Structure 1
Amino acid sequence: MAGTQYTLRVINNSTNFVDMCMYQEDPNIGNPNVLSLAWFAKPAFPTTTVVFRWTVDYSFLWSETGELVPGAFFDASQIWPADPANIAPSTPVKGGNQIGLDFKGGAYNFTSTPAANPQAGTLYVKENDQIPLKQASVGIGMSGAGTFAVQAQPRTNLTFTPHPVYYLAAGTFAAGEVLDIGSISNPTDVRFPAGVFSMTATLSEGNAWTVVPTKGLNAVEHKQIIADQRRALAGATR
């Protein structure tokens, strides 16, 4: 999986200045307390396009978030390569599927702590007994940015079994923000068909989403996009 670059072009044909935000959801991730993070976010004026690019390579991350609640920010203080398929203990050179989160001398740090009976396909975090309550969070990321986080606490073994689904929303967002998924209005899922690595999402003047393979955009769709952009521009300059 790692190494293949995915691209999502997002065209803002609405009449609003918005932040385009990509995030992930995974109802089967294996941890009921996990929260989704604003994975990527970019502002976009009407008639403009933003582009998101990533590879499917995982990582462990932690951040001193304080209490992990929607609206808080997860600014990763350490990013450690991870590979759900590699059951060898992680090292900074070659990612594995297990890690330890330590707290000594007033500082957090990832350590090479093996999990008990690790299984391929799952990511493991073992938290030591000195982890303070409600001061930090730990989670996983993709392509160097956080996607899911959970509140750190002592003597806890965390498991993440990722099968992510990509989502896109327009609104007010910042990268790393802890999201309240239920409050996001009008999101759209972004699914890549087999063998397709570039998709184009368009937000219309009526705030409706269309998501199609970039190569599948035909002449009629291109004309419609241009027409929507002109309408949005005309409305913005009145």
Structure 2
Amino acid sequence: MPSAVSAPPAAAATTYSLTVTNKSAQSQHFCLYQSAVDLGVPGARSLAWLTAHAKPNRTVTFTWAVDYSFVWGLTGQLTSGIQFVTGEVVAADPSDLSENTITFEFYDKWYKFGPVSGGVKPLGTLAIYVSPTVPPETTSVGTGMSGFPVFAVQASPTEGNALVFRPHPEYWITAGTFISGEVLNVEKLTSKAEIPYADTFSMNATLEPSGLWTVSAASA
């Protein structure tokens, strides 16, 4: 498998941050992920987007920019618990008709993103056409942010249509045992909290001894 290539950051993109404190009695793997609700692609799965380990009474900080990308990975059947290991990252922009649509294909015995072979999709979306050349249940495609995969769906030929993602980031934090790119079963996560970025770009989240989360805006 080729090494993952990081997408270039968007120019002058706003930096978001989340500072997470572990006040529980155990070491934790913190996982920042995004909700796939209303994403527009049936079967799309949330991935462990950004992860970090923290011992009790330690703090970690996640930072990112809202710069999008198309991603694919060799996953076999896309199921909970497997790791999405990125094979390719291509910069994307839902606000630019020249960068919001792409084709995924199997050519010369390998997988790759290529030029659009179908119609360009509307502004505000990110669309992937999956070629009939792609073997079934071998790969998954999706979208990333700040260079890391966020959502994935099984790559099945789209027969002239496209997988049309409608990005509207909703950030969530959870704690447990996670690896970067892990396919999450969001419904079974018991320790999670939404991080609302309203009129701020910096937030704090604390995992309390009770296992519950306290979320607040960072002090100016």
The TM-score with structure 1 as length reference comes to 0.84
Which one has the largest radius of gyration?
1
**Alpha-carbon distance in structure 1 between the residues aligned to 2:60 and 2:153:** 29
Moved more, 156-165 or 63-72: 156-165
Contact 1:98 1:114 (C-alpha < 8 Å) held by counterparts: no
Task: Say if 2:151 is the partner of 1:141.
Answer: no
Classify the secondary structure of the residue corresponding to 1:77.
strand
Task: Say if 2:102 is the partner of 1:99.
Answer: yes
Classify the secondary structure of the residue corresponding to 1:54.
strand
1:81 to 91, 95, 110: 91
- Deviation per CA, 1:13-71: give whole Å up to 9, x if none: 11111100000003111111100000011111100001100000000000001110001
Report deviation, 1:115: 3.7
Q: Which runs of 4+ in 1 moved over 4 A?
A: none
User: Where do residues 125-140 of structure 1 align in structure 2 (5 Å cutoff)?
Assistant: 125-140=128-143
Contact 1:84 1:121 (C-alpha < 8 Å) held by counterparts: yes
**Alpha-carbon distance in structure 2 between the residues aligned to 1:2 and 1:159:** 26
Report deviation, 1:154: 2.3
**Alpha-carbon distance in structure 2 between the residues aligned to 1:155 and 1:8:** 37
Name the CA shift for 1:159/1:2 in 2 (closer, same or farther; >3 Å). farther
Structure 1 match to 2:174: 169
Unaligned runs of 5+ in 1: 89-95, 217-238
Structure 2 match to 1:207: 211
Q: What RMSD over aligned residues (CA atoms) do the two structures have, in Å? A: 1.4
Contact 1:115 1:124 (C-alpha < 8 Å) held by counterparts: no
**Alpha-carbon distance in structure 1 between the residues aligned to 2:216 and 2:118:** 41
**Alpha-carbon distance in structure 2 between the residues aligned to 1:7 and 1:98:** 29
Higher helix share: 1
User: Where do residues 174-189 of structure 1 align in structure 2 (5 Å cutoff)?
Assistant: 174-189=179-194
Contact 2:104 2:113 (C-alpha < 8 Å) held by counterparts: yes
State the percentage of identical aligned residues.
39
